[in-house]
Amino acid sequence: MSSLSERGGIQIRTVAVLVALSMIAVMLRIFARFKRRVGFGVDDYLCFISLFLMIGMLIELSVWCTVGGNGRHQADLSVGTMMTFFKVFLANQFTYFALCPLIKISIICFYRRVFTIPIFQKISFGLNCLIGSWGAAIFIACGLQCRPLRSYWDKTVDGKCFDGQLFIIVNQVFNVAMDFVILGLPVPMIWNLQRHWRDKLALNGVFAIGAFVCFASIYRIVTLFWMHPQDTTWTIFQASLWTHIEPSVGLICSCLPIIRGLFPKLKLQSSSGRKSSMPYYINTALSKSHFTMSSPKSPASDYYMMSDTPTSRASDRDAPKIDYSPGYLGPMDITVRTDIEVDAASTKSHT
């Protein structure tokens, strides 16, 4: 029986905090959906599954560090502890290989709800297929890395295994490439909007928070080279830690654009350079948003006010008051209403 080492304690505490933050982010995401009276989409459900898998990874890490010898020198561990170490290591790989593609696909599905331009829909669908296929292939390959699989954790069993470290590095290189693609995917769409450059920069900033995920993915590749077979349980410290940091940060970043709608005081500058009466946000509430561009520049009406709800938009009480005095030369706020109520009875009487 292996006790919890100092390194193991650091890992468990760090990952527990990140999982707690991820849970808070998902709860705020749910609250934002309910507040705006919006049903859940594919991106939301994938986030829920990702959170469940992340909690599973935390449980695996706890077992790994308490009875699996993670964070201790291999020479100080018994044969039984080493078997437990490699069993949990394999389980951790399976969970990680399922978790990362889900988070990436969730982010792309969120983009698809926001930007409905046909070319973007085709590109994003292709990316989802690529990520999903790669994730499935890696998951299957993980189960085939040793034949028989028992030889992975039981070194007394004669078996054939391919280079597991190289296998993990190749998958991580793919993850880094996809992270950068996902990071840059919405940029052309945002910069084609007919808004002030400060608005576009602010909107890009919301999505660009995911740049830290790219950093975490790259740094994880570096930590993988620090692992040595002679003392795997000790040298795996950084790699196992960042294996949990990367998806946690990714899940938090995937929730931030939706959570931002809960804070209407985060204002953007209007195209004229003056502050608008209310902040603008991208409409992420609908499965089909209004980001369809019939021209190279999308109109400013593609933005909706954060404080608006389905009830308040249909009411004239919140309409902005405009000064129509003869001396007034300032800009006017024009509200275009497209809410049309059709009386079914009157419709039948005319047909």
CB distance 198 to 270 below 8 Å: no
pLDDT digits (tens, 9 = 90+) for 285-317: 444 433 333 333 443 333 333 333 344 444 444
pTM of the model: 0.74
Q: Measured between alpha carbons, how far is 61 from 53 in angstroms, rounded to an integer?
A: 12
Higher pLDDT, 265 or 44: 44
Q: What angle do CA 193, 314, 305 make, to 5 degrees?
A: 30
CA distances from 269 to 19, 70, 160, 200 (A): 35, 51, 62, 10
Domain limits, the chain: 6-262
- Closest listed residue to residue 313, CA positions, set 36, 93, 27: 36
**Average pLDDT of 31-38?**
87
Going by pLDDT thresholds of 50, 70 and 90, the confidence category of residue 342 is very low
Percent of the chain with pLDDT over 70: 69
HEC per residue, 23-54: HHHHHHHHHHHHHCCCCCCHHHHHHHHHHHHH
User: Is 268 a residue whose pLDDT tops 60?
Assistant: no
User: Is 323 a residue whose pLDDT tops 70?
Assistant: no
pLDDT digits (tens, 9 = 90+) for 170-229: 999 999 999 999 988 887 777 666 565 665 565 666 666 778 888 989 999 999 999 998
Going by pLDDT thresholds of 50, 70 and 90, the confidence category of residue 39 is confident
Going by pLDDT thresholds of 50, 70 and 90, the confidence category of residue 36 is confident
DSSP state of 305: E
Q: What confidence score (pLDDT) does residue 185 get?
A: 86
Strand partners of residue 298: 193
How many CB atoms neighbour CB 269 within 10 A? 17
Q: Which fold has domain 6-262?
A: Rhopdopsin 7-helix transmembrane proteins (1.20.1070)
How many CB atoms neighbour CB 13 within 10 A? 10
| Rounded (10°) angle between helices 237-259 and 211-224 | 170
CB distance 306 to 264 below 8 Å: yes
CB distance 228 to 240 below 8 Å: no
Going by pLDDT thresholds of 50, 70 and 90, the confidence category of residue 145 is very high
User: Is 336 a residue whose pLDDT tops 50?
Assistant: no
Going by pLDDT thresholds of 50, 70 and 90, the confidence category of residue 266 is low
- Closest listed residue to residue 186, CA positions, set 204, 198, 205, 213: 204
Question: What sign does the CA torsion over 28, 31, 37, 41 have?
Answer: positive
Q: Measured between alpha carbons, how far is 112 from 123 in angstroms, rounded to an integer?
A: 10
Q: What confidence score (pLDDT) does residue 38 get?
A: 81
- Closest listed residue to residue 221, CA positions, set 176, 164, 162, 163: 176
User: Is 95 a residue whose pLDDT tops 60?
Assistant: yes
User: Is 322 a residue whose pLDDT tops 50?
Assistant: no
**Beta pairing class for 146-147 and 303-305:** unpaired
Torsions phi, psi for 236 (to 5 deg): -85, 0
Q: What angle do CA 253, 104, 102 make, to 5 degrees?
A: 110
43-57, 110-124, 190-204, 251-265: least confidently modelled range: 190-204
Higher pLDDT, 343 or 237: 237
**Average pLDDT of 71-93?**
94
Q: Measured between alpha carbons, how far is 178 from 175 in angstroms, rounded to an integer?
A: 5
Query: In the chain, which ranges are continuous DSSP H helix?
Result: 6-35, 42-66, 79-114, 118-143, 164-184, 187-191, 197-208, 211-224, 232-235, 237-259, 310-313, 344-350
CB distance 217 to 247 below 8 Å: no
